[in-house]
Structure 1
């Protein structure tokens, strides 16, 4: 089948890099791979200008626009997954030492109330620790550079949740370090933490055992983003959805194979000490496919995110998986 040239935009993760360097075939599809310095830049270009044929998009960005009519449909391809116990940072003078201490506190969040990482962090705290977002105050802004809330997506939130923009000229990272906010839910590690600020720590300083235990109990490896494709492309080329799914799957499998094969060489392509031990430990706890695509292997994870999105007042309805993804791939 001959398809028109397509523009694909995503971040060059280890699981997508084979598409950038051409080491994985795209089944004869003529693609131009693009990326950007930040993921929100890709999201904005997609949402504002429909700039790409296929692109990575945050799940909450997609769901917020699904109700109003989005010319893209999601595929069950998930290039970005991160455990989120580790993404909650607190000022050490805030009095926050456990989740219950977040009550009455002021919490920062990047870009929007309920960014993908924030949806997961809030949802996990709600399920595991009885957290209630409406019992805290929320400040939305830029992490390291002053910025207003994203203006290219809707900003729904329950009426009883106190949400405000950060003061002009202020950044969330600096506000956290100075104690102007008590906590921060962040997809990225704040620069003050990277610089070793004594004023900031994680809510869960030893987060890895908690995240591993969470995975063992729930089977959930949190999904942040999906790949979306222009709907009109599928009307003209119905088989394209399977071609794209296979191409991304092969790229992901190639990354996994590299980790497995490089155990023989002690993962020397990374130069990270003890990387082999980490790969072996993960291999004992995860199935053979660490980052499965498709619906079946991700149903529990997707159902949790869709529930969290609704419970946090970010959707007017609780979406079903069947409503969200391309019907041609619901049997994957």
Structure 2
């Protein structure tokens, strides 16, 4: 902590957290200093390596990997980042990959670590829906647009029968995919070659929105990437802090939802996206109540799916229960 009356919070400025950056924040009698970083891995690394943050956004797999080694943080059921991940699998168009079963025997890139949150979800969905087996492919870990070593601030577990190597020195995964040096790529971010319209790269699921909507209707799962964590010693010292933080992040998220509801009157004109209002109305049909729920009860099915995927992919030594992952005082949410 920065002082007896200060609380440091590190998170990305999403719609769900924007309100925290727009006005002074006080939590449980503590003035909060809310900061961010250019990229999410930087927030994660600064959280894991030191005592810079009292409260921080952290990827679920980073949290779970460190939970078994004594991480001094505990998660709150606050989920500022969630994305359907059928869209995050990219293939080289000359590889002959036309569907999930064609990934067997191929070389696949993944950013930063084997089993990033986006990769855990993508692999898990492919395993459940299409019989995909990660051990039947070869995995290359590296940077997306710039050469980079695997993250060195978290453990890198993987099953012994899964072949995992690092990208060649001086090579980045996006360029390797476009050049055909890897056949496919699991990536949380859209590679620049895709944004540039390269004919050599495409999504595994070109009509991913329809596939993702069907997946959600059948399973009720809306994949969660990140949670908010808080220092355990701080919660012991301030018993009401977990609930106060949960309420703080919930209000910020609800304020964002209210902005979209109000902007519906204006055809979402504060955004630059054509037909944004039509998208809002389609999403409202899919999510008639809370689009982005926090709390344990509303997310139990999604959380249990993630914990199962994490264990099945050899990233956890055992399958954790939801009750083991989140602060005990918020299990009733």
Which TM-score tier does this pair reach, normalised by the shorter chain?
over 0.9
Question: Separation in 2 of the partners of 1:207 and 1:277?
Answer: 18
Write the mapping of 1:181-330 to structure 2, written as runs, cut at 5 A. Answer: 181-330=182-331
Give the aligned partner of residue 153 of structure 2.
152
Q: Which runs of 5+ in 1 are unaligned?
A: none
1:271 deviates by: 2.0
Give the aligned partner of residue 6 of structure 1.
7
**Is the 8 Å Cα contact of residues 7 and 32 (structure 2) preserved in structure 1?**
yes
Question: Separation in 1 of the partners of 2:214 and 2:121?
Answer: 16
**Is the 8 Å Cα contact of residues 138 and 163 (structure 1) preserved in structure 2?**
yes
Judged with a 3 Å threshold, the aligned counterparts in structure 2 of structure 1 residues 25 and 235 are, in CA distance, closer, same or farther, namely closer
Give the aligned partner of residue 75 of structure 1.
76
Deviations 1:3-54 (A, max 9, x none): 7310000000001000110187756431001000000000001111132000
Partner secondary structure for residue 79 of structure 1: coil
Partner secondary structure for residue 227 of structure 2: strand
Partner secondary structure for residue 226 of structure 1: strand
Write the mapping of 1:35-54 to structure 2, written as runs, cut at 5 A. Answer: 35-54=36-55
Partner secondary structure for residue 318 of structure 1: coil
Q: CA RMSD in A?
A: 1.2
Query: How many residues end up aligned between the 2 structures?
Result: 331
Give the aligned partner of residue 131 of structure 1.
132
Q: Which runs of 5+ in 2 are unaligned?
A: none
Deviations 1:158-199 (A, max 9, x none): 000000000010000000000000000000000000011000
Judged with a 3 Å threshold, the aligned counterparts in structure 2 of structure 1 residues 262 and 26 are, in CA distance, closer, same or farther, namely farther
Question: Separation in 2 of the partners of 1:78 and 1:60?
Answer: 13
Partner secondary structure for residue 288 of structure 2: coil
**Is the 8 Å Cα contact of residues 140 and 166 (structure 1) preserved in structure 2?**
yes
Deviations 1:102-152 (A, max 9, x none): 000000000000000000000000000000000000000000010010011
